[in-house]
Amino acid sequence: GGTRTLTGERGPDPRTATLTDIVGAVEAGGSDGPFHFDGSFTIAGQELLLEVTTGRTAAAAALPLRVTLSLPDRVLGGVTGTAGDGGAGSLRFAGVLDRSPGTAISGELRGEGRRLGDLTTVLAGLTGRPASEQSRAGNARPADTRPWTLAGQFTWADGRILLDGLEAAVGDSRAVGSVEIPLQGRDRGREASLVLSFTALDLDDWTGGDVPVLPDGGALTLDLLADAVTSRGDTLREVSLIGRLADGSLMVERAAATLPGGLVVEGAGSLSTPAGGLALDATLTARTENLRAALTWAGMWAGMDVAAVPLERLRRAALTTRVQAAAGRGAQARQPPPPRS
């Protein structure tokens, strides 16, 4: 089979991806189509199946286009199938290629797979980024066995890729939203953005209970919401975060969550994970209408006992504090007067 190297020019450290063992066959219904390609190639040691079907070509007309990219079953120890049967995972696009004016691709994108780790391995190869580096960046592990699905409206035009009306699921986590990615050489002032609203997000499922390492790649603006977030056995409600991720640091414009016991926490600041540690500098505000309930929850892990405090006490409370913490040394806090109760 043939070999081809793809080079990306975006960012100060361009990456390359090499496709090997490229084989396939093209069928044509005539000089102007329709055309059909069925083949395969290997990237980062992983074989992929590719199927492309187009309609008839016509000057200044949109060209119907279908593309299926699949992982063969044998990545899970089964037998190799064809691109159309899905195998261990697949991405399927159905839409049009519009060549007037300019060039644009738009349509519906759907995908599903048995193991998220297979998808991240493929994406690592396509971006020229080793899967081990993605794992260090806090992304899904290559051995991740959670099933995944996604669906949305895909657009590639005006120097950007947009996935709108996104519906995605990984394991027990579910989200809707949009993703925008600017392409190299176009509109360099625009940053990638991620807008997601989760009905459920299991952080333990993503991190294994450890502090994730923030990626040190390009800039990404974030607008995240979640009805419920599970972390270390507790459930946080009405969680939100607006911020910007760049160069291994997360700048938080605003974050908020309702903790168990009805404790509402809001904050802003910066978070980074140098060498797998943690560095935090943030201003936090906490308020509750039932301090007793909040302290009772906190007592599960702080050893507090509020049962002996009279019932008329420990009601409404508010607190504002600045927290500075770093790996290897405890948190430092500067606080205003004690909370009001």
pLDDT of residue 14: 56
Structure confidence at residue 65 (pLDDT): 95
Checking phi first, is residue 338 left (phi over 0); if not, alpha (psi -120 to 50) or beta?
beta
Question: What are 84-99's pLDDT values in tens digits?
Answer: 444 578 999 999 998 7
**CB proximity list for 330: less than 8 A, separation 6 or greater:** none
The yes-or-no verdict on residue 146 having pLDDT over 60 is: yes
Q: What is the pLDDT of residue 332?
A: 42
Q: In this predicted model, which residue has the larger pLDDT, 200 or 66? A: 66
Worst-scoring range by mean pLDDT, 188-197, 202-211, 308-317, 331-340?
331-340
Encoded tokens for 114: 């048995």
Q: Characterize 260-279 residue by residue with b for buried, 16 or more Cβ atoms within 10 angstroms of its Cβ, and e for exposed.
A: ebebbbebbbebbbeeeeee
pTM: 0.79
What integer is the mean pLDDT of 294-321? 74
**pLDDT tops 70 at residue 109:** yes
Q: Check residue 338 and report its DSSP letter.
A: P
Q: What percent of the chain has pLDDT over 70?
A: 75
pLDDT digits (tens, 9 = 90+) for 214-244: 777 678 999 999 999 988 888 999 999 999 9
Percent of the chain with pLDDT strictly greater than 90: 38
Which pLDDT does position 190 carry in this prediction?
74
Q: How many CA atoms lie within 13 A of 234 on its CB side?
A: 14
* Mean pLDDT taken over the chain: 80
Mean pLDDT of 290-296: 82
Residue 212's pLDDT band (cuts 50, 70, 90): confident
What burial class does residue 2 get, using C-beta atoms within 10 Å of its C-beta: 0-12 exposed, 13-18 middle, 19+ buried?
A: exposed
Q: Which of 216-252 are b and which e, b meaning 16 or more Cβ less than 10 Å from the residue's Cβ?
A: ebeebbbbbbbeebbbeeeebeebebbbebbeebbbb
pLDDT for the residue 5: 78
Which residues are registered as beta bridge partners of 107? 95, 154
pLDDT digits (tens, 9 = 90+) for 156-188: 988 889 999 999 999 889 999 999 988 764 445
Mean pLDDT, residues 63-80 taken together: 71
Q: What is the pLDDT of residue 335?
A: 43
Q: What CA–CA distance (Å, rounded) separates 208 from 202? A: 10
Cβ burial 284-323 (10 Å sphere, 16+ → b, else e)? bebbbeebbbbbbbbeeeeeeeeeeeeeeebeebebebeb
Segment 296-307 mean pLDDT: 66
The tens digit of pLDDT for each residue in 249-282 reads 999 999 999 998 889 999 999 998 877 678 899 9
Q: Residue 173: which of 126, 142, 140 has the closest Cα?
A: 140
Question: Residue 7 above 90 pLDDT?
Answer: no
Q: With bands split at pLDDT 50, 70 and 90, how would you rate the model's confidence at 197?
A: very high
Decide: 328 and 335 in contact? Cβ < 8 Å.
Answer: no
